Amino acid sequence: MELDEMDVLKVVEGSPLLAGDGVIRLADFALALGMESKALLVEVANHGVALVCVADGWQGVEVADIAEVERESDGQFILNSVEEIGEPVMLTGQLVLFDTRLAVSRLLKDGEYLGEVFFRDAKRKRAVFLDPGEKVGIDALMLSKRDAERIRLALSVGVTPSMLDAAKALRQPSLPVHAVAHVHPSVVAGHKYGAMRVSEVLDRFLADKKASWKDDQYNRMNGICGTFVELMDDPILADLDRPMIAEYRRRLQQLPDNLCQARRRYGLTSLTELIGAVESAGDPRMELSSANLYIRRLSEMLNWAVREELLPRNPAAGVGGAGKRDKREQDERGIFDATDLAKIFSVEWFKEGKGKTSARGGFHSYQPHYYWLPLLGLYTGGRLNELAQLYLDDIQQDEAGCWYLDFNLDGSDKIDADPKEERSEGSDKSLKTINSQRVVALHDRLVELGLPDYVEALRRAGHVRLFPELRFDKIKGYGKAAGSWFNERFLGARLEIPRDGTKTFHSLRHMFITGLFDAEVPEATVAQVAGHERGKTMSAKRYRKDQVASKLQPYINRVEYPLPTLAPFDVAAGVQAVASALDRKERRRKQQVRSESRTANQP
């Protein structure tokens, strides 16, 4: 490379962006060296460095070991062999380019790379063969920070002292920075905790709350308050003031609207790097309402610090609405309009009653909960985890012939997961409150579409849960996997419904409850069906008993929606899809066991 193609001072001095582990975008690496991305791309290829890109809902076929794929005499992969030994998948997250030199050659020539083969990880064994049409541009490429630093060091070797002196002479002099030792005024005034870091306050706060909080609440507060620590460089308590909180809100609005999804998409954990990545990609940013939520949670922690006499006052109180709601409760969650409903319920499994099959007849981009969970949310108002954890015995028919869901925590048979999958310790069922225990009659539409028939078919196949294909999470139950699919991959990646936190699976529950009120259903009945407190008076809470399912059904059948035509559920295909999903799960488990065994036996 010609040395005048880069900023030799930046190359020699290095950059904080290259420090530590993780990955860095090629464009950011080029900026750190004062180079053009295409010029740096050549260096990457010359050093044999692995390049990474991020898949976002790409379709392909995955093979456990690329060495098992047959090849032609010229080295080309035989795609029939891929189909035979591979499993169709939908890809998200990081992928490693199979042939860096080939990719660089095509990128320099065409500006994009029509990817065909990628590795799933740096071990270069598990690989995926993409369906035609997925293209990768230069701006989408990343590499490890360690490889980036190795390239920088190699480039710096070619910088001579005279070149360095010339570069320094061209640089404009900067203002001197003086490190002034001082004692903060609040410490002088006797505020003994003024030098304490916010991170220590967070540790004390979480330790105090751990016994009374559930794990998901603990982790959520740790993540939200930890965002302040990272974005504001862990300030001392003496420096906390209202301007700092206002600056924090400004920085929050530079973050992506969905932090978890963006971290997976870009493979970044650093918030500063994430801000740069979403800025380059033009991704949606955090809304003001979401930023204010972060400040309200921070304010909760700082209020606790005031009560514990670690702080004299809470500087976040009232900033951006901290301590009060930005919206009415009924406005905090959006509902799906007619256009949204048409998008959701026009995909192939609602039009055909089943998903698409692969060339070998299996189901790889479809599972039965894709069909039933949105409909159950829309016609029963059940919360996501309540529905995802249902057992077959929780779908019953009373003496009057009315089908209903029984949301409960009863029975020893509710302790373990499906016998066809690995069992979990302890109960795998949970409900939000004691009032969540209830029965909800099945809307006639669910019966017409075949839910009872599917329940019976699953029972004959030896299953005990309605959705045996769902994974169990120790913190969030079966709803975690279901929510990740519906909110991120289905609504976001496939349907491109904005992920601003207003339209989620929970919106279906809001629509159902709103539908009951619109149909003039008595409030006490709505409270029972929704799993809310049955009333405010002693008579309503203690003496009024819940109505049986057959009494509820006429009310529930009043709820109607402007949906497209739905095909009845293909029961046989549903049972086959469950078997396929469990088979893939078991093969992955066995592969993991073999991998762990090989690792344990290595000298």
Segment 147-196, tens digit of pLDDT: 888 888 888 877 777 776 666 665 544 434 333 334 444 443 345 677 78
Contact 476, 217 (CB under 8 A): no
Same domain, 360 and 492: yes
Q: Which of 150, 166, 182 is the last residue before a domain boundary? A: 166
Same domain, 365 and 456: yes
Domain assignment present for residue 353? The answer is yes
Contact 277, 266 (CB under 8 A): yes
Answer yes or no: is pLDDT of 303 > 50: yes
Same domain, 422 and 360: yes
Summary mean pLDDT of the chain: 78
Paired tokens of 254: 């530079």
Point out the least confidently predicted range of 55-59, 87-91, 315-319, 599-603: 599-603
Point out the least confidently predicted range of 67-81, 152-166, 252-266, 588-602: 588-602
pLDDT tens-digit profile of 267-290?
777 887 888 777 777 778 888 878
Answer yes or no: is pLDDT of 600 > 50: yes
Q: With bands split at pLDDT 50, 70 and 90, how would you rate the model's confidence at 412?
A: very low
Domain assignment present for residue 331? The answer is no
Give the whole-angstrom CA distance, residue 96 versus residue 23: 12
Which of 206, 246, 239, 240 is closest to 225 using CA atoms?
Answer: 206
pLDDT of 184 reads 44
Q: With bands split at pLDDT 50, 70 and 90, how would you rate the model's confidence at 539?
A: very low
Which of 285, 295, 283 is closest to 249 using CA atoms?
Answer: 295
Same domain, 296 and 438: no
Residues 135-145: what's their mean pLDDT? 80
Paired tokens of 158: 């070619």
Domain assignment present for residue 153? The answer is yes
Residues β-bridged to residue 90: 59
Answer yes or no: is pLDDT of 56 > 70: no
Q: Which of 264, 295, 326 is the last residue before a domain boundary? A: 326
pLDDT of 489 reads 85
Give the whole-angstrom CA distance, residue 483 versus residue 40: 40
Q: With bands split at pLDDT 50, 70 and 90, how would you rate the model's confidence at 331?
A: very low
Q: With bands split at pLDDT 50, 70 and 90, how would you rate the model's confidence at 424?
A: very low
Q: With bands split at pLDDT 50, 70 and 90, how would you rate the model's confidence at 113?
A: confident
Give the whole-angstrom CA distance, residue 80 versus residue 300: 59
Looking at the chain, the whole-number percentage of residues with pLDDT higher than 90 is 18
Same domain, 80 and 122: yes
DSSP state of 406: E
Q: With bands split at pLDDT 50, 70 and 90, how would you rate the model's confidence at 320?
A: low
Paired tokens of 420: 């066809």
Same domain, 201 and 161: no
pLDDT of 571 reads 95
Domain assignment present for residue 419? The answer is yes
Residues 25-42: what's their mean pLDDT? 82
Domain assignment present for residue 73? The answer is yes
DSSP state of 236: B
Paired tokens of 192: 């003994």
Answer yes or no: is pLDDT of 255 > 80: yes
Domain assignment present for residue 135? The answer is yes
Answer yes or no: is pLDDT of 122 > 80: no
Point out the least confidently predicted range of 43-57, 295-309, 338-352: 43-57
Q: With bands split at pLDDT 50, 70 and 90, how would you rate the model's confidence at 529?
A: confident
Contact 221, 209 (CB under 8 A): yes
Stronger pLDDT, 427 or 442, i.e. the higher one: 442
pLDDT tens-digit profile of 505-522?
989 988 998 888 888 888
Same domain, 155 and 197: no
pLDDT of 446 reads 95
Same domain, 259 and 407: no
Same domain, 284 and 383: no
Answer yes or no: is pLDDT of 419 > 90: no
326-340, 511-525, 528-542 — most confident range: 511-525
Give the whole-angstrom CA distance, residue 36 versus residue 22: 22
Residues 369-375: what's their mean pLDDT? 96
pLDDT of 431 reads 54
Which of 456, 439, 472, 417 is closest to 569 using CA atoms?
Answer: 456
Long-range contacts of 270-276 (CB under 8 A, 24+ apart): 270/22, 271/227, 271/230, 271/231, 273/17, 273/22, 273/24, 273/28, 275/251, 276/25, 276/28
Q: Which of 129, 151, 166 is the last residue before a domain boundary? A: 166
Domain span at 300: 193-326
Answer yes or no: is pLDDT of 372 > 80: yes
Q: With bands split at pLDDT 50, 70 and 90, how would you rate the model's confidence at 323?
A: very low
Paired tokens of 96: 């490693």
Cβ neighbours of residue 512 closer than 8 Å, sequence gap 6 or more: 377, 378, 379, 380, 381, 559
The bridge status of strand 135-137 relative to strand 395-397 is unpaired
Domain assignment present for residue 183? The answer is no
**First-last CA distance in the chain:** 42
Stronger pLDDT, 179 or 95, i.e. the higher one: 95
Domain assignment present for residue 496? The answer is yes
pLDDT of 172 reads 46
pLDDT of 457 reads 95
Contact 423, 364 (CB under 8 A): no
Residues 44-60: what's their mean pLDDT? 79
Same domain, 318 and 355: no
Same domain, 288 and 360: no
Stronger pLDDT, 430 or 313, i.e. the higher one: 313
Stronger pLDDT, 602 or 211, i.e. the higher one: 211
Answer yes or no: is pLDDT of 449 > 90: yes
pLDDT of 568 reads 96
Q: The sheet that has 403-407: what strands, in order across it?
A: 395-397, 403-407, 438-441
Answer yes or no: is pLDDT of 420 > 80: no
Looking at the chain, the whole-number percentage of residues with pLDDT higher than 70 is 78
Same domain, 134 and 53: yes
Degrees, nearest 5: CA angle 277-280-286? 65
CATH of the domain at 253: 1.10.150
Distances in Å between the alpha carbon of 145 and those of 38, 214, 242, 269, 597? 18, 36, 36, 13, 30
Q: With bands split at pLDDT 50, 70 and 90, how would you rate the model's confidence at 344?
A: very high
Paired tokens of 503: 């339209």
Give the whole-angstrom CA distance, residue 95 versus residue 142: 10
Q: How many domains does the chain have?
A: 3
Give the whole-angstrom CA distance, residue 308 versus residue 165: 56
Q: With bands split at pLDDT 50, 70 and 90, how would you rate the model's confidence at 599?
A: low
Q: With bands split at pLDDT 50, 70 and 90, how would you rate the model's confidence at 542?
A: very low
pLDDT of 191 reads 55
Q: With bands split at pLDDT 50, 70 and 90, how would you rate the model's confidence at 220?
A: confident
Residue 46 falls in which region: left (phi positive, over 0), alpha (psi -120 to 50) or beta:
alpha
H helices present in 212-241, as ranges: 215-231
